Every structure is written in C-alpha cells, then in structure tokens.
Amino acid sequence: MCNNENKERGSIVIIAALSLTMLLLLGSFLVDFGRAYVQMSQLQNAVDASVLAAVQELPDTTNALNYADQYISSNGFSPSDIDVSFSNGNRTVTVTGTKTFNYSSAGPGTDYGAHTLKLTK
C-alpha cells in the first residue's frame, strides 16, 4: 500500500500547473473580448454622433462632411476612421466607421493579432 502512495505523489503539481495555464489563457481571452466590446461601443457612439451632426446640415454635403469629421474627432477617433457617403439626392447620409486594434493575448510576430471593427449607420 505504501508503494501506490509514492507513485501518485507529485501529481497535484502537474494538475495545478495545467489548471493555472488554462485559467491564464481564459483570462487573456476575456480581456481581449472586453477590449473589443469597449472599442465597438466607443465606435458606435462616435458614428452615431457623426451621423446626427451630418444629417442636420443636409442637403449641404460639404458642411455635413465637416461636421461628421468634427464629431468623430471629438469622440477620440480620426476622420480617416470613417467613410461618409450621401445618397437619395443628398437627403440620406451613411457613415461607416472602421477601427483596427491588436489582441493582447496574441504574441508579437503573429498574424492573428489584429481585428478590425466595422460599423455602418
């Protein structure tokens, strides 16, 4: 009976190491998911503000574009992050926001470390 106890001795270290590794991986993926959710929410708020600002200036597309750029900038994004288009005789505005961010769980030199968020209003 004493022999069986000696064979199993130390197995808890292996189980604990594997469990902690899985827990750390899960935690890093949850952090990335949270960051993506926050980025998408911020992008949605910025695009909504840009659309509302641009619509108030229609049918003058020059002013509408300027206001859309102004509002996207005031929400922490660059005007290059959005694409503004007009249709229906300059009575409809469409704003598409795009933002790329890097995953923190993907190590350096990986090709899957970036994700692009895209939102159209």
Per-residue pLDDT, 119: 67
Task: Give this prediction's pTM.
Answer: 0.72
Answer whether residue 13 shows pLDDT above 60.
Answer: yes
Q: What is the pLDDT of residue 106?
A: 56
pLDDT confidence bin for 100, thresholds 50/70/90: confident
The pLDDT of residue 8 is 66
Q: What is the CA radius of gyration of the chain?
A: 25
pLDDT at 30: 86
The DSSP annotation for 19-66 comes to HHHHHHHHHHHHHHHHHHHHHHHHHHHHHHHHHHHHHHTTT-HHHHHH
pLDDT at 91 over 60: yes
